[in-house]
Amino acid sequence: MTSPAVRLALAASWRGGRADRRRAATLSAAVAVVTLMGCGCASAWALAGHVQDRAAARSFAPAAEGAPAAFERSALYDETPAGEQIYVYWWRQAGVGPQVPGVHGDPAPGSWFVSPALAERLAVDPGLASRYPGARPLADEGVAHPGELLAHRFVGDHVALDERLAADTEGWIGDGTEALELFPIAMAALALVGIPGLGLVVAASSPLAATVERRRLLLRALGASPGVERRVVATHALSCALPGALAAAVLWWHAAPRLTSVPFVGRAVFAGDLALSGPAIGAVAAGALLLAIAVASVRPGPDLAVRPAASTPRRASAVRGVPLLLAVVTMAAAGVVGGRAGARLFVTGVVATAAAAVIALPYVVDRVGAQLARHPGAVTLLVGRRMGWNAARSTRSLLAVGGVAALSPVVGAWVTVARDVDQPSTVSAPAVEVRGVLSPEEVADLARRADAVTLELVVEPPPDDRTPPRLLVVGDCRTLGSHVKLEACAAGAFSVPAGALGIGPGPLAGSATRPTDAEPHSTLFISDDPTATEALLRAHVLNADRPGRQVAVPGRELTHESPLVQWILGAGLLAGVVGVLALALHLSGQAADLARSRIRLVALGADRALVRRLAGVEAALSLLLVGLGCATVGTVSSWLFVQVDGQASLPIGVIALVVAGVLAGAALSGAAAGVSVPTALRSDRG
Amino acid sequence: MTGRVRTTELPTLRCRGLRLRFGARPILDGLDLDVGRGEALAIMGPSGSGKTSLLHCLAGLRQPDAGDISVAGAELTRMSHRQRARVRLNSIGMVFQFGELLDELTVGENVELPLRLRRERGTAAGRLLGSVGLADRGGSWPAELSGGEVQRVAIARALAGRPVLLLADEPTGALDEGLSRAVGELLRSSASAVGAALVVATHDPIVASSMDRTARLRHGQLVAA
Ligand SMILES: Nc1ncnc2c1ncn2[C@@H]1O[C@H](COP(=O)(O)OP(=O)(O)O)[C@@H](O)[C@H]1O
Ligand SMILES: [Mg+2]
State the ipTM, two decimals.
0.88
Most confident of A53-62, A351-360, A610-619, B33-42: B33-42
**Widest CA span in chain A:** 110
pLDDT for the residue A306 = 63
Return the number of CB contacts < 8 Å for A and B.
Answer: 96
pLDDT for the residue A247 = 97
Here the contacts of B140-145 (C-beta below 8 Å, separation 24 or greater) are: B140/B106, B140/B107, B141/A312, B141/A313, B141/B103, B141/B106, B141/B107, B142/B99, B142/B101, B142/B102, B142/B103, B142/B105, B142/B107, B142/B110, B143/A307, B143/A309, B143/A310, B143/A311, B143/A312, B143/B103, B144/A310, B144/A312, B145/B107
Determine which residue's CA is closest to atom 26 belonging to ligand 1.
B48
Domain that includes residue A598, residue range: 318-422+560-686
Determine which residue's CA is closest to atom 18 belonging to ligand 1.
B52
Most confident of A195-204, A437-446, A506-515, A543-552: A195-204
Range A384-411 average pLDDT: 88
Domain co-membership, A567 together with A418: yes
List A490's β-bridge partners, or say none. A493
Provide DSSP, A497-557: -HHHHSB-SSSPPGGGG----SSPEEEEEE-S-HHHHHHHHIIIIITT--TT-EEE-TT-P
**Which residues have CB under 8 Å from B8's CB, separation 6+?**
none
Interface of A with B (CB under 8 A): 304, 307, 309-313, 376-378, 381-382, 385-386, 389, 596-597, 599-610, 681, 683-686
**Which residues have CB under 8 Å from A355's CB, separation 6+?**
A195, A323, A327, A403
Range A517-529 average pLDDT: 50
CA-wise closest residue to A401 among A599, A634, A557 = A634
Domain co-membership, A463 together with A536: yes
User: For residue A150, with 0-12 CB atoms within 10 Å meaning exposed, 13-18 middle and 19 or more buried, which class applies?
Assistant: buried
Range B3-26 average pLDDT: 80
Residue A334 has pLDDT above 90, yes or no: no
pLDDT for the residue A494 = 60
Check: CB of residue A387 under 8 Å from CB of residue A359: no
Check: CB of residue A588 under 8 Å from CB of residue A654: no
Q: How far apart are CA B144 and CA B173, in angstroms?
A: 20
Supply the DSSP symbol for A194.
I
Residue of A607, A610, A677 to mutate when probing chain B, most B C-beta within 10 A: A607
Residue A481 has pLDDT above 70, yes or no: no
Contact A309 B143 (CB under 8 A): yes
Contact B81 A685 (CB under 8 A): no
Determine which residue's CA is closest to atom 16 belonging to ligand 1.
B50
Cα nearest neighbour of B60 on chain A: A603
The phi, psi pair for B179, rounded to 5°, reads: -65, -35
Q: Is B25 helix (H, G, I), strand (E, B) or coil?
A: strand
Exposure pattern of A572-601 as b/e (b: 16+ CB <10 Å)?
A: bebbbebbbbbbebbbbbbbbbbebbbbbb
Torsion-angle region of B10 (φ positive above 0: left; ψ -120 to 50: alpha; else: beta) = beta
**Which residues have CB under 8 Å from A273's CB, separation 6+?**
A46, A47, A50, A51, A145
* Alpha helices for A14-137 (secondary structure H): 18-56, 116-124, 126-129
Determine which residue's CA is closest to atom 6 belonging to ligand 1.
B22
pLDDT for the residue B28 = 95
- Whether residue A448 is contained in a domain is answered as yes
Residue A557 has pLDDT above 60, yes or no: no
pLDDT for the residue A508 = 35
User: For residue A268, with 0-12 CB atoms within 10 Å meaning exposed, 13-18 middle and 19 or more buried, which class applies?
Assistant: middle
List the single residue in A304, A307, A681 with the smallest CB-CB distance to B62.
Answer: A681
**Cα→Cα distances B146→A152, B103, B105, B142, B173, Å:** 86, 14, 16, 9, 14
Cα nearest neighbour of B168 on chain A: A603
Residue B206 has pLDDT above 60, yes or no: yes
CA-wise closest residue to B17 among B5, B1, B32 = B32
Q: How far apart are CA A570 and CA A575, in angstroms?
A: 9
Contact B161 A378 (CB under 8 A): no
Cα nearest neighbour of B114 on chain A: A604
Contact A605 B81 (CB under 8 A): no
Query: What is the band of A509 on the pLDDT scale with cuts at 50, 70, 90?
Result: very low
Residue A341's H or E segment, with its range, is helix A339-373
Residue A119 has pLDDT above 80, yes or no: yes
Cα nearest neighbour of B53 on chain A: A683
Contact B104 A603 (CB under 8 A): no
User: Looking at A532, A559, A586, which one is the last position of a domain?
Assistant: A559
CA-wise closest residue to A387 among A625, A72, A204, A215 = A625
Considering only residues 45 to 74 of chain B, which have any Cβ-Cβ distance to chain A shorter than 8 Å?
Answer: 52, 56, 59, 61-62
Query: What is the band of A315 on the pLDDT scale with cuts at 50, 70, 90?
Result: confident
**Cα→Cα distances A160→A113, A469, A558, A643, A660, Å:** 20, 11, 20, 48, 60
Give the least confident one: A166-175, A480-489, B120-129, B197-206: A166-175
Contact A604 B113 (CB under 8 A): yes
List A434's β-bridge partners, or say none. A523, A551
Strands across the sheet containing B165-169: B92-95, B165-169, B197-201, B40-44, B213-218, B221-224
- Whether residue A189 is contained in a domain is answered as no
| Alpha carbon of A555 to ligand 2 centroid (Å) | 90
Torsion-angle region of A300 (φ positive above 0: left; ψ -120 to 50: alpha; else: beta) = alpha
Number of domains making up chain A: 4
- Whether residue A286 is contained in a domain is answered as yes
Residue A685 has pLDDT above 90, yes or no: no
Residue A684 has pLDDT above 50, yes or no: no
One-letter identity of residue A612: R
Q: What is the pTM of this model?
A: 0.74
| Alpha carbon of B26 to ligand 1 centroid (Å) | 10
pLDDT for the residue A55 = 77
Q: Which residues of B touch A311 (CB under 8 A)?
A: 103, 143
Residue A131 has pLDDT above 70, yes or no: yes
Q: Hey, CA dihedral for A476, A477, A478, A483, is it positive or negative?
A: positive
Range A646-662 average pLDDT: 89
pLDDT per position as a tens digit, A590-613: 777 777 788 888 888 888 888 889
* Alpha helices for A175-225 (secondary structure H): 177-189, 195-221
pLDDT for the residue A506 = 38
**Which residues have CB under 8 Å from A5's CB, separation 6+?**
A219, A224, A228, A231, A232, A235
More confidently predicted of A512 and A94: A94
Cα nearest neighbour of A684 on chain B: B52
pLDDT for the residue A543 = 43
Domain co-membership, A482 together with A579: no
The phi, psi pair for B118, rounded to 5°, reads: -90, 5
Contact A307 B85 (CB under 8 A): no
Domain co-membership, A579 together with A551: no
Residue A351's H or E segment, with its range, is helix A339-373
Domain co-membership, A440 together with A453: yes
Percent over 70 (pLDDT), chain A: 70
**Cα→Cα distances A609→A13, A65, A556, B173, Å:** 34, 87, 70, 32
Distance from CA of B156 to the nearest CA of A (A): 13
Q: Which residues of A touch B101 (CB under 8 A)?
A: 600
List the single residue in B62, B101, B103 with the smallest CB-CB distance to A304.
Answer: B103
Atom index in ligand 1 nearest the CA of residue B25 equals 12
Contact B109 A385 (CB under 8 A): yes
Residue B91 has pLDDT above 90, yes or no: yes
Contact A601 B97 (CB under 8 A): no
Residue A564 has pLDDT above 80, yes or no: no
- Whether residue A269 is contained in a domain is answered as yes
Residue A290's H or E segment, with its range, is helix A278-297
Distance from CA of B86 to the nearest CA of A (A): 6
- Whether residue A185 is contained in a domain is answered as no
Domain co-membership, A604 together with A682: yes
Q: Of the ligands numbered here, which is closest to the C-alpha atom of B27?
A: 1
Range A62-84 average pLDDT: 77
The phi, psi pair for B71, rounded to 5°, reads: -115, 115
Q: Of the ligands numbered here, which is closest to the C-alpha atom of A686?
A: 2
Cα nearest neighbour of B144 on chain A: A310
CA-wise closest residue to A408 among A579, A181, A182, A645 = A579
> 3-state DSSP: chain A helix, strand, coil percent, rounded to 5?
60, 10, 30
**Cα→Cα distances A341→A327, A335, A407, Å:** 16, 10, 21
Q: Hey, CA dihedral for A660, A665, A668, A671, is it positive or negative?
A: negative
User: For residue A424, with 0-12 CB atoms within 10 Å meaning exposed, 13-18 middle and 19 or more buried, which class applies?
Assistant: middle
Q: How far apart are CA B153 and CA B183, in angstroms?
A: 11
Supply the DSSP symbol for A190.
I
List the single residue in B61, B81, B104 with the smallest CB-CB distance to A603.
Answer: B61
Query: What is the band of A499 on the pLDDT scale with cuts at 50, 70, 90?
Result: very low
Query: What is the band of A283 on the pLDDT scale with cuts at 50, 70, 90?
Result: very high
Contact B94 A313 (CB under 8 A): no
**Cα→Cα distances A453→A367, A530, A541, B224, Å:** 69, 11, 16, 116
Q: Which residues of B touch A307 (CB under 8 A)?
A: 103, 143
Atom index in ligand 1 nearest the CA of residue B46 equals 22
Strands (E), A49-179: 60-62, 71-79, 85-93, 112-114, 136-137, 150-154, 163-169
Domain co-membership, A599 together with A580: yes
pLDDT per position as a tens digit, A403-419: 889 988 988 888 777 66
Range A347-365 average pLDDT: 89
Query: What is the band of A491 on the pLDDT scale with cuts at 50, 70, 90?
Result: low
Check: CB of residue B98 under 8 Å from CB of residue A686: yes
How many CB atoms are closer than 10 A to CB A432?
Answer: 25
> 3-state DSSP: chain B helix, strand, coil percent, rounded to 5?
35, 25, 35
Determine which residue's CA is closest to atom 1 belonging to ligand 1.
A683
Range B74-91 average pLDDT: 92
Domain co-membership, A568 together with A685: yes
pLDDT for the residue A172 = 41
pLDDT for the residue A642 = 87
Check: CB of residue A114 under 8 Å from CB of residue A108: no
Contact A605 B85 (CB under 8 A): yes
Residue B37's H or E segment, with its range, is none
Q: Is A277 helix (H, G, I), strand (E, B) or coil?
A: coil
pLDDT for the residue A216 = 78
Query: What is the band of A525 on the pLDDT scale with cuts at 50, 70, 90?
Result: low
Query: How many helices (H) and strands (E) are present in chain A, helices listed first?
Result: 20, 14
- Whether residue A40 is contained in a domain is answered as yes
Dihedral of CA atoms B203, B208, B214, B217 in degrees, nearest 10, equals -10
CATH (residue range B38-63+80-212) = 3.40.50.300
**Which residues have CB under 8 Å from A181's CB, separation 6+?**
A564
Checking DSSP bridges between strand A521-526 and strand A150-154, what pairing results, if any?
unpaired
Range A384-395 average pLDDT: 88
Checking DSSP bridges between strand A60-62 and strand A456-460, what pairing results, if any?
unpaired
Domain co-membership, A571 together with A684: yes
Range A145-171 average pLDDT: 78
Domain co-membership, A274 together with A290: yes
Residue of B103, B111, B165, B169 to mutate when probing chain A, most A C-beta within 10 A: B103
Give the least confident one: A118-127, A378-387, A524-533: A524-533
Pocket of ligand 1 (CB under 6 A): A 683, 685; B 22, 27, 45, 47-53
Give me Rg for the CA atoms of chain B.
17
Supply the DSSP symbol for A147.
T
Contact B119/A at CB under 8 A? yes
What does the mean pLDDT of chain A come to?
A: 77
Residue B41's H or E segment, with its range, is strand B40-44
Domain co-membership, A583 together with A520: no
The phi, psi pair for A84, rounded to 5°, reads: -80, 145
- Whether residue A195 is contained in a domain is answered as no
- Whether residue A186 is contained in a domain is answered as no
